[in-house]
Structure 1
Amino acid sequence: MMYNSKISGLGYYVPENIVTNDDLKKWMETSDEWIQERTGIEERRWIDPSTGDTTAVMGAKAAKIAIERAGLTKDDIDFIVFATLSPDMYFPGGGVQIQDLLEMPTIGALDVRNQCSGFIYSLSVADQFIKTGMYKNILVIGSENHSGGLEKSTRGRNVSVIFGDGAGAAVLSRSEEKGKGLLSSHLHSEGKHAKELMLEGPSTQRWVPEIMAENDPEDVSYYPYMNGQFVFKHAIGRFSEAIMEGLQANQLQKEDIDMLIPHQANLRIAQFIQKKFQLSDDKVHNNIMKYGNTTAASVIIALTEAWELGKIKDNDLVVLAAFGSGFTWGSVIIRW
């Protein structure tokens, strides 16, 4: 028997520490106007190390909220899928940390490394486990600590002004209600563009001791790199393709969309997609203005926020879409 999966609980957590565009002047030559014009971002949350927040800790905080809202306990969760590009440790990944932090039984934990589209990929993976009957309730988390690895200087400002910290979580549960829940997911990649948005080191190709030994102040390989214009151009095309693919797979039209949750990479990208699909403001939820780009956490934070605000109602058609490093991209079509 094939089951359906539905989102039964949602939660998110962001650090209390707010960093405005004006605050960034302490580290780099920039301005509120310059940042807003290029990205739409007004402020972001960056972890205050004294709070003890980490990628895993934030994920656990979001997960607790999602599990409670699902009407479940930690012991009801059968499996964990954890998406991040900024794990607390090079290995092991954050999934096992969640199992420990939440004091769960010895359930399986899977880590997904698909950066900005990480939550889309994770939701798709969890959906397959539930549809085949292997698991009943799966915890899906997207969490990121960007601030610890950004080059907070004028040289690094094109990247560092964009990213924020935070986490979101969803509980995906088995359902026998036909035609509702996750209808389909669509995943893609194009690895030839991997170096257009990447973090080269530390890695097995550029290990930490080597960097330290060189002590080269001009070496920026251990900071994130992004070819902004190139990424932007590909993002607007792939976003549209993934959304249309999802609609066509379910015999739906763009007019059927009740809520679009795009990955919060750049407000200009989201506005371009909104205009292309002729969606009114009440049918798209953006929060990049407040949180910046939280990568694997962005879609789930925005989805949770839209649901909390009452923007998503029973039987609504909800479309999730993301594009990011890899390049990877994808969409998920949900009948709420």
Structure 2
Amino acid sequence: MVGNRDRTESRLRQIVEDCLRRSLRPDQALPSDDVDWIASDLLDSMGHVDVLLSIERAAGLTDFFSRVESAPPTTTQKVLAALQDAVKQETPSRQPQARRLQGGLSASAEITGWGFIVGAQRVEAASVEREFSLPTGTIRERAGIECVARASGDQSELSLATAAANAALERADVDAGDLDWLLAASETSVGFPSLGSLVHSRLLLRDSCGVLDLGGACVGLLNALAIARSLLTSGVARHILVVTSDVHSQYLLPGRVAGEFGGLFGDGASAFILCRTREGSDSPRYRLGEFQFGCAGTFSSALAIRPNPDGTMMLKFEGDALARAAVNRLEKIVSDLEVQSGHRRQDANSFATHQPNPRLVEMLARQSGVPPDKFPVVAKVYGNLGCSTCGVALCMALGTQDAKVPAERGPIFMAAVGPGMLWGGGVVF
């Protein structure tokens, strides 16, 4: 990253050319300044996003291209002009600190059990592209998704959530009758009774076990874990079940929504048992640290979806703008978590983040400077699972940790962004 005094015209050109060169094939020469990177097929739209993110980071102008009023530049000439204008206009600003949800009282909250399940059907990317009449490679090559998991005819949000919950209870060796709270998150369960109350009934939980259904879409799991941590550390509860479950395939159908969006999603559920433990105990389980949350409201209009009266879905989906904003925000969450928790990203065992698509995971790994294999493989083989993406990734990360002796385990960084650019993060250690 460069400072103001280093942002000369020649230095900015060097940054642009270096970042562009890294995204081109070895046999491709740098284009002339006025050649459009996308129109000339040098880059696809996701490659364009990757280059702009790299330029922002190298020039020290976080979120710059997401804030420009016109369409993001696609030629070297226009990129340089935008950067030079930014350097002239830039003024020092104070960055607001992330709000933290604190709860470190005389007890801690630990994850003692976990489980996940995905839809029983596997649909290859090529089949998804044919269903939505998309150009070949739209899902597999551009998004990086090999196949999506879809619920079978006898699977629903309830059945998936129940299966994941039973797996978590068994791993934790906790009886369902001992649960004090059930926290549920879903972006597709929209009827009544709510998902939480249905899971409560299916598991035959006691009447005094509270139920709380949460929103937040892709940030839903982190919302639930943060609330569970507060309930446990304050002494209100001893055992809490957190579940996430989404069945996108019942809504995001060909003819109802654009395939560039609907074709990315799969179906799945995750569940976690959290227990209260005395501070200072030598429990080998996985402790929840502090969380942070926020909302970058300037991006709230980049994604909007709601049903139309005729049964179709109204969709506004500015994919490239969302991609830039999401990667920048996720990387910033990781940076803030390092400061907040005292854990370094280099020491992390895994990064249980939301995964809009695998290409964005690759970008995030590069921007964060961590190996891609520290991100559990979720979206590549199951699709975007909504609020369960982060949950399934966390289950996989915990499974990897569980195979190690406690001394060899590292922290797990959690980070997610959702519609409206809600965001949240936390650390398990």
Query: Structure 2: how far apart are the matches of 1:146 and 1:325?
Result: 15
2:385 aligned partner: 294
1:331 aligned partner: 425
Change over 3 Å in CA distance of 1:325–1:155 after alignment to 2: closer
2:307 aligned partner: 201
Deviations 1:152-199 (A, max 9, x none): 149611111101100000111111254960111111113453332222
Deviation at 1:310, TM superposition (A): 5.3
Rg larger in structure: 2
Deviation at 1:26, TM superposition (A): 4.5
Please identify, of 179-188 and 92-101, the stretch whose mean Cα deviation from structure 2 is larger.
Answer: 179-188
Q: Which amino acid aligns with 1:332?
A: G
Describe how 1:271-286 pairs up with structure 2 within 5 A: 271-286=362-377
Describe how 1:1-336 pairs up with structure 2 within 5 A: 2-30=106-134, 33-49=137-153, 51=154, 53-89=155-191, 91-106=192-207, 107-153=209-255, 156-178=258-280, 181-201=287-307, 211=309, 215=310, 220-221=313-314, 224-309=315-400, 313=404, 314=406, 315-335=409-429
Q: Which amino acid aligns with 2:378?
A: N
Deviation at 1:318, TM superposition (A): 0.7
**Aligned-residue CA RMSD in angstroms?**
2.2
Q: Which amino acid aligns with 1:84?
A: S
Change over 3 Å in CA distance of 1:24–1:282 after alignment to 2: closer
Tell me the SS of whatever aligns to 2:339: helix
Deviation at 1:295, TM superposition (A): 0.8
Deviation at 1:148, TM superposition (A): 0.6
Query: Structure 1: how far apart are the matches of 2:427 and 2:415?
Result: 9
Change over 3 Å in CA distance of 1:162–1:320 after alignment to 2: same
Q: Which amino acid aligns with 1:14?
A: V
Query: Structure 1: how far apart are the matches of 2:320 and 2:269?
Result: 27
* Contact 1:85 1:113 (C-alpha < 8 Å) held by counterparts: yes
* Contact 2:125 2:139 (C-alpha < 8 Å) held by counterparts: yes
Deviation at 1:281, TM superposition (A): 3.8
Higher RCO structure, 1 or 2 (CA under 8 Å, sep 6+)? 1
Change over 3 Å in CA distance of 1:305–1:251 after alignment to 2: closer
Deviations 1:99-152 (A, max 9, x none): 011111121111111001111111111111111111111111111010111131
Query: Structure 2: how far apart are the matches of 1:273 and 1:311?
Result: 25
Normalising by structure 1, we get a TM-score of 0.88
* Number of equivalences: 317
Query: Structure 2: how far apart are the matches of 1:272 and 1:297?
Result: 21
Structure 2 residues without counterparts, runs of 5 or longer: 1-104
Query: Structure 2: how far apart are the matches of 1:141 and 1:72?
Result: 15
Normalising by structure 2, we get a TM-score of 0.69
Query: Structure 1: how far apart are the matches of 2:216 and 2:257?
Result: 26
Query: Structure 1: how far apart are the matches of 2:235 and 2:248?
Result: 36
Query: Structure 2: how far apart are the matches of 1:333 and 1:101?
Result: 31
Q: Which amino acid aligns with 1:267?
A: P
Please identify, of 324-333 and 307-316, the stretch whose mean Cα deviation from structure 2 is larger.
Answer: 307-316
Identity value in percent = 23
Q: Which amino acid aligns with 1:255?
A: Q
